[in-house]
Amino acid sequence: MGVQLLGDTTVGKRWDVSAQLYEDACAVIPGGVSANIKYFSPYPIFMERAHGSRLYDVDGHEYIDYLLGYGALILGHGHPKVVSAVMHQLLENGTPVFGTPNRIETDMARKLVELFPSMEMVRFTNSGMEATLLAIRVAQAYTGKRKIAKFEGHYHGGYNQVLFSINPDLERAGRAEEPTPVPESLGLTSEEAENTVILPFNQLDACEAILRRHADELAAVILEPVQGGFIPAEASFMKGLRQLTEELGIVLIFDEVKTGFRVTLGGVQDIYGIRPDLTALGKVLGGGFPVGAVGGKKDIMEIMSPSGARDVFAFVDSPADAKAGETPPAPGTDPGKQPASKRRQVLFHSGTYNGHPTVLAAGLATIRVLESPGTMERLMENTHFLRKQLENIYHKYGIPLQTVGMGSIFSLVITERPIKNYRDLAAANTALRKKLDYELLRLGVYTKPLNRYSMSVVHTKEDLHKTVEAHEEAVRRVMRP
């Protein structure tokens, strides 16, 4: 079974095993993938093993990997420090998960509080998507308001309230200064659209007008401070948004799932000098394992505390305990025995695998490597080198390519227009970019077509030079008459 890749004029047979595996998968998995983002036409390439900066597919081909688990693998594949930490948890501590509180939860929470000035307390989840979902629920409970505002082109996970205007058809998206919510999935309701206000990124005056109009209804503004991981907010925009949300009593949520640890160890917020009320983390935090975290101000975060609260699992010991008017327990007594009528309500947040010790061991090992002297500096230097070399190659052939990004993430955007938001990006030459990406797959450079590039600390100078050479060859092939 062969495949004709876009940009190629002959039917290639390089990915026959992937083609067969995809056909097998489609028989038992809808669309052959467990996450829609992993699909690309005519079928995704199936990988068999990985090491360091390299991926190896089922057809025996090797790739320099710039997808890196959509940015999660900042130390590359199978870093020995991460493997060692995981094996210690499994073998020395005797189990993958305790199902109880454990020391490593506190260790990781302390590390995050140390690194992120905006965080006073932390709760763990099992994915970045769960983290943004929890942050929104916390904001809604804290403010008593239902609506949220998100930005056009920003992605926060695959749940209903944020599945609007991520990659909208501009004919349906309304005016640039006042975008219309465009659903991105089946199964969304008109009520969810009404409760999700769409904002224009990097346009402070337009945002201010919308936020002031909806201020009494909005619990939170959530945004990727670097859209898609590679379109940075302007500093003046960030400062103005922080001032505006504080004035209007709207919780400001930074979704740093993509950018956490990839720009600085304190996130993008450290670069801008902005302290959001809540921050969602994921990806790098798990060292290659599924993880998420929400951190923020103590007075907001403690709405989740079950201590002395009326909670789903805070059972009343006996009918007598529930009698109204009983005196609250003395300090030091079990708050769970406080009469139900006296207990405050709590925002319920739970999950068997929250604070998973094996995952957090991998995450802490990752952070410690990143904290070692010179590591982040070398990562940024290599990223800058690759970006500059790629721009030089494309400009030599008359292609107006920009490497748009911040820190160790960037994307290739073919346009002369400055890229400040989704609508600027939508005007770029994605057809040419896609042709180049498919050729790069044939040349051993891997990222999903049209996706961003994520760098790792294990990409070598040799990797970078080979990548530049592959890009030049891809340009030659695509431009060949």
| Domain count of the fold of the chain | 3
Using DSSP's 3-state secondary structure scheme, residue 233 falls into coil
Q: Are 248 and 211 in contact (CB under 8 A)?
A: yes
Residues 74 and 183 grouped into a single domain: no
pLDDT category, 2, cuts 50, 70, 90?
A: very low
pLDDT mean over 132-147:
97
Count other C-beta atoms under 10 Å from residue 421's C-beta: 20
Residues 86 and 187 grouped into a single domain: yes
Residues 216 and 247 grouped into a single domain: yes
Using the predicted structure, report yes or no on whether residue 237 has a pLDDT greater than 60: yes
The percent of residues in the chain predicted with pLDDT above 70, rounded, is 91
**This prediction's pTM:** 0.92
Residue 345 Cα distances to 48, 249, 268, 362, angstroms? 49, 22, 34, 35
Residues 69 and 92 grouped into a single domain: no
How high is the pLDDT of residue 4? 46
How high is the pLDDT of residue 312? 76
Structure tokens at 61: 């081909």
Between CA 437 and CA 67 the distance in angstroms is: 12
Q: Are 253 and 323 in contact (CB under 8 A)?
A: no
Using DSSP's 3-state secondary structure scheme, residue 345 falls into strand
Between CA 17 and CA 112 the distance in angstroms is: 43
In a domain, 1, yes or no: no
In a domain, 329, yes or no: yes
Q: Are 285 and 260 in contact (CB under 8 A)?
A: yes
How high is the pLDDT of residue 473? 97
pLDDT mean over 284-293:
98
Q: What are phi and psi of 64, to 5 degrees?
A: -80, 125
Q: What is the CATH classification number for the domain harbouring 224? A: 3.40.640.10
Residue range(s) defining the domain that contains residue 337: 315-345
pLDDT mean over 352-359:
96
Q: What is the pLDDT of residues 258-267, one digit of tens each?
A: 999 999 999 9
Residues acting as catalytic residues: 155, 255, 283
